[in-house]
């Protein structure tokens, strides 16, 4: 059986933001890359949650006089994260990864000190399973 590292997209290849980045930076990064969510890290590199399009929309809706033009004044640590994308340790069991991937489009991966080291996307897990099914001539009914 594969371990989590097999599926890992390393931090250097992941779009993420510092927790003190601005709302505008998040909006622009999401638009540019076509993402609906981005992992956040704190000043020490620890995983600090995930900001989603929904989080940004709720902040916009619930903040009087907030416009796109002044979103550079709002920092991501001021925005409530309504979805908790739980991270897994690089040493966790593959079942823990799969359990989280059922609920999350991507699963943040941390080392033993809680440092963000990358993500595993649901897509790679599904592609791997499809490849196994195909190689073994199995069909899903």
User: Where do runs of H (alpha helix) occur along 40-84?
Assistant: 53-62
For residue 49, the enclosing domain spans 4-135
Rounded Cα–Cα distance for residues 16 and 13 (Å): 9
Residue 66 lies in a domain: yes
Rounded Cα–Cα distance for residues 128 and 9 (Å): 14
Could you give the number of structural domains in the chain? Answer: 1
Rounded mean pLDDT, 107-121? 96
Going by their DSSP bridges, the two strands 106-110 and 88-89 should be labelled as parallel
CATH of the domain at 94: 3.10.580.10
Q: How many helices (H) and strands (E) does the chain have?
A: 5, 7
Length of the chain in terms of residues written: 141
Judge contact between 21 and 30, C-beta under 8 A: no
| pLDDT at residue 61 in the model | 92
Give the model confidence (pLDDT) of 7-33 as tens digits: 999 999 999 999 999 999 999 999 999
Rounded Cα–Cα distance for residues 54 and 106 (Å): 16
Residue 105 lies in a domain: yes
| pLDDT at residue 140 in the model | 66
Residue 17 lies in a domain: yes
Residue 8 lies in a domain: yes
Residue 140 lies in a domain: no
Give the model confidence (pLDDT) of 73-97 as tens digits: 999 999 999 988 899 999 998 889 9
Residue 141 lies in a domain: no
Rounded mean pLDDT, 48-53? 96
Residue 52 lies in a domain: yes
| pLDDT at residue 141 in the model | 57
């Amino acid at each position: 059986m594969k371990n989590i590292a097999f599926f890992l997209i390393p931090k250097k290849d992941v779009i993420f933001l510092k927790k003190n980045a601005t709302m505008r930076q998040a909006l622009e990064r999401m638009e540019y890359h076509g993402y609906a969510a981005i992992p956040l890290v704190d000043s020490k590199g620890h995983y600090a949650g995930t900001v989603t399009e929904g989080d940004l929309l709720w902040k916009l809706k619930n903040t009087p006089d907030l416009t796109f033009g002044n979103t550079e004044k709002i920092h991501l640590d001021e925005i409530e994260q309504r979805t908790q994308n739980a991270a897994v340790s690089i040493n966790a069991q593959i079942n823990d990864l799969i359990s989280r991937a059922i609920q999350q489009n991507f699963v943040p991966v941390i080392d033993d000190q809680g440092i963000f080291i990358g993500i595993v996307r649901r897509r790679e897990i599904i592609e791997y399973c499809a490849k196994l099914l195909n190689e073994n001539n199995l069909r899903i009914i």
